[in-house]
Amino acid sequence: MRAITFLRTLGPDELMRYHQVVSHSELVRSHLDVLVWLQGDMQQFLPHEIMIAAWGDFSTGAVQHDVISAMSGVRSLPSNPATLTPLLVNLFERWANLGKVPLAVNSGDSGFILEDLGEKSALGKALQTMRSAIVHCICDTRGSHDCLYVTFSTQVRGDASMRGAMSVVLPFIDLALRQIQHLPHQVTLSNAAVGAGSAPTLTADTSVVQQLVEEHDLTDRELQILNWVAKGKTNPEIGSILNISAFTVKNHMQRMFKKLNVTNRAQAVAKFNAIVNHA
């Protein structure tokens, strides 16, 4: 009902613009595409500074997340799941208790507070400046998990129009995010695979990512490439997976070698495996 009401408020030009914006979801192929889309044309219908997408089992807190924002330092990788998950679980429970319809939350002057040290992170500081959030969820019955989406704004945006907009555009946002690769730290670490000598995979809550970032200053892209190198992929294969050229992969590899203080792929994988096995 909210979706129909929202669409009826749009004039002919706005309705045409809306269809152009949401149809762009089919063209999204990377995290950068999502950022440009959400912080660009989508702002006309769903204005926000930060979007957090979370998925998993909210009853147990086994949740992964994406942070999408143009704000400096507000990214998925540096954010600590231990400090962010309680906020996401709380918002999910409030959404479910309300009847599983779009929920508007006003934070007041304090903003949204993360637990413990989370409030000192770039994301934590940014959330303290937010004054409202629109919360909605898509229940994935086939995938056996729920997908929570929260938009945060520095403005108070809790009216029916914003909730209606969230209801209308969310399926397209969900579609867009399902078309892009997980970041390396969003995939579960398989200890069995490590024990068998297979290439281990990074996870959001493991110390592996933290060590690679803090001690070796690897970027998100370098982490992605290292993950695929450890799985035995060639530069052309990695380029195809990440939608970049093999030459670009090679350049990232050279910078990564310097940061890891190695000279070739085998040494990089050996160092990666050593970090995983001692994490």
My answer on whether 234 and 112 are in the same domain is: no
What average pLDDT does the segment 209-228 reach?
78
Distance CA 159, CA 271 (A): 52
What would the pLDDT profile of 78-87 be if each residue is shown by its tens digit? 677 778 989 9
Does residue 168 contact residue 5 with C-beta atoms inside 8 Å? no
Distance CA 265, CA 271 (A): 10
- Who contacts 80 (Cβ-Cβ below 8 Å, separation ≥6)? 117, 118, 121
My answer on whether 153 and 20 are in the same domain is: yes
Distance CA 241, CA 181 (A): 8
Predicted confidence at residue 270, as pLDDT, reads: 86
My answer on whether 13 and 131 are in the same domain is: yes
**At 234, is the pLDDT very low, low, confident or very high (cuts 50, 70, 90)?**
confident
What would the pLDDT profile of 153-192 be if each residue is shown by its tens digit? 999 987 888 999 999 999 999 999 988 877 766 654 333 3
138-145: long-range pairs with CB below 8 Å, 24+: 138/170, 138/171, 138/174, 139/100, 140/55, 145/55, 145/56, 145/57
My answer on whether 161 and 245 are in the same domain is: no
Per-range mean pLDDT, top range of 146-150, 198-202, 231-235: 146-150
- The last residue of a domain, from among 180, 195, 210: 180
**Structural tokens at position 250:** 């090679």
- The last residue of a domain, from among 150, 180, 210: 180
R_g of the chain, CA atoms, integer Å: 20
What would the pLDDT profile of 34-70 be if each residue is shown by its tens digit? 999 999 999 999 999 999 999 888 888 888 899 999 9
My answer on whether 34 and 67 are in the same domain is: yes
Per the prediction, the chain carries an average pLDDT of 83
- The last residue of a domain, from among 128, 151, 180: 180
* CATH for 267: 1.10.10.10
**At 275, is the pLDDT very low, low, confident or very high (cuts 50, 70, 90)?**
confident
* CATH for 73: 3.30.450.80
My answer on whether 190 and 93 are in the same domain is: no
| Count of structural domains, the chain | 2
Parent domain of 108:
2-180
My answer on whether 235 and 135 are in the same domain is: no
My answer on whether 216 and 174 are in the same domain is: no
